[in-house]
Structure 1
Amino acid sequence: MTLFDPPAPLAERLRPRTVAEVVGQSHLLGPGKPLTRVLQSGRLGSLILWGPPGVGKTTLARLLAGEVGAHFIALSAVTAGVKDVREAVTEAERLKGRGQRTILFLDEIHRFNKAQQDALLPHVESGLLTLIGATTENPSFEVNPALRSRARTLVLQALSTEEVRGLLQRALSDERGLPGVSAEPEALDLLARLAEGDARRALSTLEVAATLSNPVTPEAVTEAFGRHLPQMDKNGEDFYNLISALHKSVRGSHVDASLYWLARMIEGGADTLYVARRIVRMAAEDIGLADPQALRLAVAARDTAEFLGSPEGDLALAQAVVYLALAPKSNSVYVAWKNAVRAVQEGETLPVPLHLRNAPTHLMREQGYGKGYAYYFDDPEGSFAQDYLPDGAHLDLYAPTGEGWEARVAERWRKLQEAHGESEQARDPEEKPAPA
């Protein structure tokens, strides 16, 4: 081995050689579990392996092909195209004539567009190719329904801290790993936590740390690992899960959780203006009139984040999140608006009463537009006495809560309803309640 023939990376050298050596995924590989039953039957169908990075999707695909004695073709959807699929089909047809089946492994299958995924369909359906696709993205969104229906989706889980630590210890003791290197227990504990379930990341960091210190120390791990950036796909499910967690933590008035999820998003590289817009939405949707200042503060935080940028503007977002989490909550306007939209979409289209119509021309006034309208500031009683919906129409859209400032709104709303109700009864004496 020379400078021009370096050894394979540690993660590659330690790839499991058998299914029994796989670390983690006991929910798939344990006794009686799905993949165990498949291997026992010898009938391996097409699969979609969905899970975070570094949990063994590629390794598992190779091992499954070996267990059933199939020819293994590996492609990456990042670089491959329909031409590569055609070449795989040609090779599969040639091997089929010899009685050998072919497994096509397509890494990052979510990178294939619809046309490219459709090119796989006839060959998967005919059984010429057994497809094993690997993805870090939710297949429900990223894999065509037609292809998804022909493959079983298996969810792989991030390795536990204990499983990662065991893998690191194996790297120090296995002859394929780092013979002659030792590590302090605290260093292995630290690295197992920092890896966040990613075996490849853990082994790569250990390999670098071993060049800095032997035995490997926590300081060497920290230096080798670099800045700890939380894992987050800025365009994938992780991002939207974090947004959901932030919104629900604010709604649940949990300040610490709200700050944590906000920090996860910011440190993960999220678009701060997108986050700011969501915070404005939280103020309108979940705080509403319980604290009218919340929306103003959220908009101000959004403007500050845009003006200052990150990291200075992040503090304004944190201030807004803390304020919203602490604020009283009301979704009464949110619910009322949904009720109003539903009434428009599903109900009868109501005409505007003549006295409420705009009357800018003489002809319109002759038609009765605006006639009899009672201007509130000139005639408060008359204003309450007039109809604001067509005769016989009734809507019950808004119901204020007793939270925060909206408790005052609720009292005002009650009095207004009483005033409108009394005016209606005054116009129709037969509907007046009998004296007590």
Structure 2
Amino acid sequence: MATRAILGSVVARGVVQVASEAEVPLAARMRPGSLDEFVGQEHLVGPGKPLRRSIEQDTIPSMIFYGPPGSGKTTLARIIASTTKSAFVQLNAVTSGVADLRRVIEDARELRRMYRRRTILFIDEIHRFNKAQQDALLPAVEDGTVILIGATTENPFFEVIPPLVSRTRVVELRQLEPGEVMVILKRAIDDPVRGLGGSTVQVADDALSYLARMSNGDARVALNALELAYKTTPPGESGVRVITLDTIREALNRRTIVYDRAGDAHYDTASAFIKSIRGSDPDAALYWLARMVEAGEDPKFIARRMIISAAEDIGLADPQALVLAVAAARAAEFVGWPEAKIPLAEAVIYLASAPKSNSAYLAINRAQEAVRNEYAEPVPRHLRDASYKGAARLGHGKGYLYPHDYPGHYVSQQYLPASQVGKIYYEPQDQGYEKEIKRRLSQRGSGNGETGHDGAGDGVRVKCSGAGDRGLGVEI
């Protein structure tokens, strides 16, 4: 029973037969076998870093490797497999189920009991496990039966159950820089054993630089494109394959944009987009818009974010911003991609260039806070609905002053419940059109029984009297 785990230190379930070296993709052949070969992630595996020390000392804790594709998650796990004295078992969350997990855990428990040997369980794409599968891991991770190493491109704080996250260390790998991808590409070109062999291929400098930039930090994409360019380029008379920029462009086909509509890149890009609008940087806002457009984002999602920003970040400093954002949303929905980018871009430039005020956002939040935490008084009788028979007998609407019957269509009366009189929720700012709103309010008063919106009035309260919804009198 335990022999399944005892047979070797590395077990990869579901792996059939190892292909010949020539059939193995370049990206797999060039996978680093040690930390010294590993490129990038200096913040994790640089000299003296905790993760490097734990790998070298074989004191690996349970971890979740989280990072973009091609950043080295699986490679790090395999380096651990090649250096550890523990048994190393690999599962893929796509093809494995609870039964597979239970077998591995049973073997690990037996191995620890008989030989006092640890088992490291590497689960690729751990976010693909459902809650029941993740729950099955908990006891074994908690009691140390297995040391878990998970790999995921998705944020584990959203995609992995909290109890499992709390029992592991989340290790974030960063997107590789173009210079780091360049190192990997040059190594693949020059290596005569695992790579393409420096004597049989020449890659133009501009082609190599383009590939390093346009692979978006994904080493696997870069190596796959390089290999495709190599295989589709016939040798010249000298036997050397000369790979040009055009060949690389064709091999790469389309720039790889890390963007999953349900993942971090989706929300991070949208966040950068809105923050650029809020920060009044039209160029940055256009750039993030272009990133979403190129990734095929739903124009409705983009338009919704713009409408929210128009109300939250620009608001009454330029009320026209909300009108334009809604119009852009309708236009984008009407014309669809690719032309939808034009009205969206027009609105983005307007929003980013407009004066900013978040007073409406703050005002509704203050009002909601009061509603949530204070006593909800009944609606004052003079403000209640008086449109039905019998309302007058209940006193509903009695004493209400109809503003249109007064000079300037305004009359001061109490609109808030008694306990709320004098409280200020809306505080206009000195930005754009809102300066005019502030001026009008300061002249008229707040409308809640005070003479000034800044709360500095003489405290006069209005007692309403008279009959009907259009009350005709006021007693002070």
TM-score normalised over the length of structure 2? 0.84
For the pair 1:80 / 2:100, whether they are aligned, the reply is no
**Greater fraction helix:** 1
| 1:322-363 residue CA offsets vs partner (Å, 9 max, x unmatched) | 110111111111111111111111122132222221123453
Q: Per the alignment, do residues 352 and 59 of structure 1 end up closer, same or farther by CA in structure 2, a change over 3 Å counting?
A: same
CA RMSD of aligned residues (A): 2.3
Which residue number in structure 1 is paired with residue 431 of structure 2?
403
User: In structure 2, how many angstroms separate the alpha carbons of the residues matched to 1:406 and 1:245?
Assistant: 27
**Relative to structure 1, is the Cα distance of residues 364 and 164 closer, same or farther in structure 2, using a 3 angstrom cutoff?**
same
Return closer, same or farther for 1:4/1:66 CA change in 2, 3 Å cut-off: closer
1:394 correspondence with 2:422:
yes
Residues 302-333 of structure 1, C-alpha deviation per residue, up to 9 Å, x if partnerless?
A: 11111111111121111111110111111111
**1:201 maps to what in 2?**
221
Name the SS of the counterpart of 1:164 in structure 2: helix
Q: 1:372 is matched with which residue: 386, 389, 399? A: 399
Residue of structure 2 equivalent to 1:274:
301
| 1:289 alignment partner in structure 2 | 316
Where do 1:18-57 residues align within 5 Å? 18-57=34-73
AA in 1 matched with 2:322: L
CA distance in 2: counterparts of 1:99 and 1:182, whole angstroms:
52
What is the 5 A alignment of 1:11-22? 11-22=27-38
Q: Which runs of 5+ in 2 are unaligned?
A: 1-18, 234-240, 463-476
> Quick one: which amino acid aligns to residue 177 of structure 1?
G
How many percent identity over aligned positions?
48
2:143 is the alignment partner of 1:110: no
Q: Which runs of 5+ in 1 are unaligned?
A: 430-436
* Higher mean C-alpha deviation, range 413-422 or range 191-200: 413-422
Alignment of 1:132-281 (within 5 A): 132-174=149-191, 175-179=193-197, 180-213=200-233, 214-281=241-308
Are residue 101 (structure 1) and residue 118 (structure 2) matched? yes
In structure 1, distance between residues paired with 2:461 and 2:334:
59
Give the 3 Å change call, closer, same or farther, for CA 370–288 of structure 1 in structure 2. Answer: same
Contact 1:62 1:72 in 2 (8 A): no
Secondary structure of 2:171's counterpart equals strand
Q: Deviations over 1:116-160 (max 9, x none)?
A: 111011111222211110011111212222111221121112222
* Distance (Å, rounded) in 2 between the aligned partners of 1:87 and 1:342: 53
Aligned to 2:373: 346
Change (3 A) 1:132 1:212: same
C-alpha deviation, 1:93, in angstroms: 3.7
Query: What secondary structure, in the 3-state scheme, does the structure 1 residue paired with 2:266 have?
Result: helix
Provide Cα deviations, 1:183-217, integer angstroms capped at 9, x if missing partner. 12222111111112111111111001112332211
Taking a change above 3 Å as real, the CA distance of residues 391 and 166 of structure 1, as seen in their structure-2 partners, is closer
| Mean Cα deviation higher: 79-88 or 129-138 | 79-88
Q: Secondary structure at the match of 1:8?
A: coil
SS at match of 2:85: coil
Q: Aligned with 1:20: secondary structure?
A: coil
Contact 1:246 1:257 in 2 (8 A): yes
Question: What CA deviation, in whole Å up to 9, does each residue of 1:344-383 have, x standing for no partner?
Answer: 1112213222222112345331232212222112234996
Q: Distance in 1 between matches of 2:109 and 2:194?
A: 37
Alignment TM-score, normalising by the size of structure 1: 0.92
Q: Kindly tell me: are residues 103 and 418 of structure 1, through their superposed partners in 2, closer, same or farther at Cα, counting changes over 3 Å?
A: closer
1:304 pairs, out of 311, 331, 354, with 331
CA shift for structure 1 position 87:
2.3
Aligned length: 427
SS at match of 1:15: coil
Match of 2:468 in 1: none
Distance of 2:262 and 2:325 partners within structure 1:
24
Q: Deviations over 1:4-63 (max 9, x none)?
A: 995100011111122221111222222210122213432222111111111111111111
The range that moved more, 240-249 or 414-423, is: 414-423
User: How big is each residue's C-alpha offset from its partner over 1:268-305, in whole Å with a ceiling of 9 and x where there is no partner?
Assistant: 12221111111111111111111111111111111111
Q: Is the Cα–Cα contact under 8 Å of residues 216 and 256 in structure 2 kept in the other structure?
A: no
